[in-house]
Structure formats: C-alpha cells, structure tokens
Structure 1
C-alpha cells in the first residue's frame, strides 16, 4: 500500500511580522495585532506538523500491515505448516485476517486523506493570503514613512511660496496615507480575530472524522483477531480467551516455554 501526500515540510507562509507605527497607531492596537500575528504563526506551525504526523502515522500503519503479511507468508511457506493440517489452517486463517486488515488500512488512509489531510492543507493555504494582507500593511506603512520624511525635509527648507505649497500638498498626502494605514490595521485586527475564533468550528468535524476512522479501523482489527482466536479455541475445546485473565494466559505461555526448554535439543 503506497501512501503519497504533499510534503508538508515547506516553510510557513506567515512571515511578515507587523512593524510598529508609533506616530500613527495606538500602542494597544499595535500590541493586539502583534499578539494575533504570533497566535496565527503558532496555528500555522501546528497545522503543518499535524499534516506531517498524520502522514507518518498512515505510513507506519501500512508498514505494520506489510510486515504482518510477510510473517504469515513466511509461515505459510514453512515445511512445518505443510506437515500439520491444523497448523496450516491456523496460518491460512491468520493470513486471511492480515489481507482483510490491508483493506482496512487502505480505507483508513483514504478516509483520513479526505477528512483530515485535505482540510488541513486547505486551512494551511489560507495563511498565504493572510501574509499578503500583512505585506499590504507594511506597504502602506512604508509609504507613510516616505511621505513623513518628505514633510520633514520640506519643513526644514526655507519657507518660500513654492516650498509652502509643496509642504501643504505633502501634508495632505501624509494625512491620507495615515488614514489608509489605520483603516488597514483595524481591518486586519477585526478579520483575523474572527478567523481565530472560528478555527474550532473548522477543526471540530475533522477531529470527529479522525476519531471515527480510528474506531472503525481498530474495531475491525479487534473483531477479526477475536474471531480468529475464538475459532481456534473452539476447535481445541479450550475456554474462550475472553474468560482467561492476562496472568493465566502468561502462566500458560511460560509453562509451554519451560517444557520446550526441557527438550534435549534446546538444552545448553
């Protein structure tokens, strides 16, 4: 079973940290946007890591199933299984279980691709647009700084009629630029705060789908092996494994190992 997903190890999109604008914005407004930015960075990083972790998890599940199938295949090809009908039947049933688990693991991978990885990928892609919005704010801030520098130079020049006209024109431009920056900042703070608040409603169904897929996969695994063990016990005339405690089961195994070690062929 081959699992192929987009590599989530790329750098994060959100990297344009909001610069301060003390002469235009209130300190509290600057601080609030900085906090939002930090929280968004953490969320993007978490989203990226969740994709990476899920990819690893599905690869590990596939690897376990592949290894277990290899075990049953090797057992099936052993001479001992060909010599003993009961053992051969047990190994065949075990191999059948691993084949069914392969299909279950494939379904698990498919479901989590649609309900976990793809939603997280879409959510992670939003941060590209968020960073563009922060870049626009930086652009407006730089424009304001350039205009402020022009105004400062004109104020230092001789107050000729020409310079006074230029100064008034640049002051009006500076005022417009400041308003645009304040508006952009307020819009960012409002929109991104709402974005943060709504993240739970986005991730909740994704997490629910993950838990249900786990229940389906591990429930099916338990059902298959329980059926296999109960079927084996019924043939042997032994009590159900469900009625045997862990300590009793371990004692039974240890007893068999002691008898095996007592054989002359394994004595040291």
Structure 2
C-alpha cells in the first residue's frame, strides 16, 4: 500500500513537471493557441495532483495506519505463545521428575522427594493450564476478528479511489473539451503526425540515415 501511494504521488508530480516544462517552452510564447492548450493542461495536472494528495492522505489515515496498529499486536501475541511454550517445558520437566520418583521403591527419602516434586509441579501445572486455556479461548477470537478489523480500511480504500477517479473523469473531460478536436479518431491523428514527420524528413537540413 505504501509503495502504491508513493507511486501515485510520483505520477502526479511528474505530470505537473511535464506541464510546467511545457509552459516554459518558447513555443508557448510564439503560439497563443498552443499556450492556451498548455495552460489548460497545466491547470488540469495541478488539480489532479491536489486530488491525488487528498486520496493518499485518506489512505494513509484509514488504511496504512490501522494496518500498522494491527501488526503491532502480533509481537504481544507471539510473546504469549512463547510464554506458554516455556511454561509447558517447565511442566514437562517437573512432571518427568515426579514420574521418576513414582517408579522408585517407596522408601522414606523417596517419598519425601516425591512429595517435594509434586509441590514444585502443582503451581507450574496450574500456570500452564491457565496460559493454555487463555490462548485456546482468545486465539480463535483474534483470528476471526481480523476480517472485521480490515473491512473498514478496505471500504475506505475503495471509496477514496471512487472519489479520485470520479474527479479525474471530470478534470480530463473538461480538458478534452477545451483542447480536443472532436471527430478525429486516433488513426487520423496518427496519420497527421506521420504526414508532419514526413515533411520534416524531407527538409534538406535533416540528415538521411
């Protein structure tokens, strides 16, 4: 998303640079009709850049920043899983210790050590069961909520694009009405360009490659 908005801004800034360069071209001083066309184009490009900036700002606030906040939750989640895993290892270690004493002959010293091992195991077992229960209850909720969290951002992204492209349709529609010669097809324009290029190539000062 960040790469997309950066590319959008670069595109509109480049378009404004093109119109600015055209305005400073000597042709605009020599041809009033061309100056009028370029001025209309420059105004359209600046309007496009302004709306594009609004779109990017909207996406930043309603898409990029919420996703950053969402991703910040994952370290805490991962830490909870790691704490549960560490507690599980402690639980297994102490459980193994209890089982080892249970397998030995029930002498006084062994029974004492067995009792001590069980006492050590009890709080660790309770801690593990609490952490495990919490994850079993909350992980599905966390997983199922991800769509609900993302929906508003996705809707905002679509709305921002709709507003932007609606304005672009108006801007370029107005621009076309100002500078376009109606009735000419792209093929006719291409033939005109080819004809002009042939005239240029026919000049004696143009080298024949």
TM-score normalised according to structure 1 size? 0.69
Structure-2 residue corresponding to 1:115: 62
Q: Is the 8 A contact 2:40 2:178 kept in 1?
A: no
Moved over 6 A (4+): none
Q: Specify every segment of 5 or more residues in structure 1 that has no aligned partner in the other structure, as ranges.
A: 1-53
Superposed, which structure 2 residues align to 1:105-184 within 5 Å?
105-155=52-102, 159-184=106-131
More helix by share: 2
Shift of 1:153: 4.5
Cα distance in 1 for residues equivalent to 2:58 and 2:173: 25
Structure-2 residue corresponding to 1:215: 162
In the alignment, which of 143, 150, 170 is matched to residue 196 of structure 1? 143
Matched pairs, number: 204
Shift of 1:259: 1.3
The one-character-per-residue Cα deviations of 1:190-213 (angstroms, maximum 9, x if unpaired) are: 211111112221111110000010
Structure-1 residue corresponding to 2:192: 256
Cα distance in 2 for residues equivalent to 1:108 and 1:55: 13
Shift of 1:171: 2.5
Structure-2 residue corresponding to 1:57: 4
Counterpart secondary structure, 1:103: helix
Q: Is the 8 A contact 2:9 2:52 kept in 1?
A: yes
- 2:20 counterpart of 1:73: yes
Higher Cα Rg, which structure:
2
TM-score normalised according to structure 2 size? 0.87
Q: Specify every segment of 5 or more residues in structure 2 that has no aligned partner in the other structure, as ranges.
A: none
Q: Is the 8 A contact 2:37 2:178 kept in 1?
A: no
